[in-house]
Structure 1
């Protein structure tokens, strides 16, 4: 993924109004992100920890979605697996993130969800640039390119569900 500008990011959102996109908190480190290692840009809102955002390139340009994290469940410690990159995390390292659907369906309150790395660092976990802890990455015989393609395909399928 190439570097993105604030304008590009704000214009990419498909499931929120232009006003909401204008007000959302962007990451302050856009200029220092490891763009060559990112398959998508994802971040959590530091002022509102239950909000997250994801922007990726698609055939039609950039596509951004606003996400909401489910409240963590109390109880037994558990492990979760990200549905995008297949990295496992202990505790709350994987969260159910929901996106309001685009268009009229979203206005009627419909949403879709996926279990995603809570820090949205899937690209870095795939490349071994960030450690998910013991048992974080399962051994696979796939090449990095194949893992990236799989993750991108899973993300594209999720975005299609947001658009449908």
Structure 2
């Protein structure tokens, strides 16, 4: 990703009202973000435990969406639909995002299960444990990175779609 300022980040959100934009807090380590390392940036809002934010580059510009976490917890393990990591039930949450434009103003939203702390970008970089006789295939992490980036881009693009 290209480096962004706080003003750039706030201007990129496509599904947030002016009031929401004023309430969103940047991650605590925002000034330390290694932008070259990130395919997308996602964080839970330090000011609101239910709010999350995602920034993705699509078509050369940065698109941001505001997410809302569900209240209900899960008792069983679940899989994140973005990074495809299996997690204990309390570490996967249903996040929904209001659509951009008129559809979002009517209350239309889209949801998916994600890592509860929105750490998909880091989780996909962790190597899976190997069985005693198993050999790690070269490029396996790269394939997982590409898939995670594509799935996040598709989710954000669905939020961005104009629906009447």
SS in 1 for 2:49: strand
Q: TM-score, normalised by structure 2?
A: 0.84
Deviations 1:16-56 (A, max 9, x none): 12442233111121122343432211111222111111111
Q: Distance in 2 between matches of 1:43 and 1:119?
A: 7
5 Å-filtered alignment, 1:15-94, equals 15-73=15-73, 77-94=75-92
How many correspondences in the alignment?
Answer: 155
**Unpaired runs of at least 5, structure 2:** 130-134
Q: From the CA coordinates, give the structure whose radius of gyration is larger.
A: 2
Deviations 1:62-98 (A, max 9, x none): 0000000011237xx3111110110111131111000
SS in 1 for 2:50: strand
5 Å-filtered alignment, 1:70-149, equals 70-73=70-73, 77-128=75-126, 143-149=140-146
CA RMSD after TM alignment = 2.3
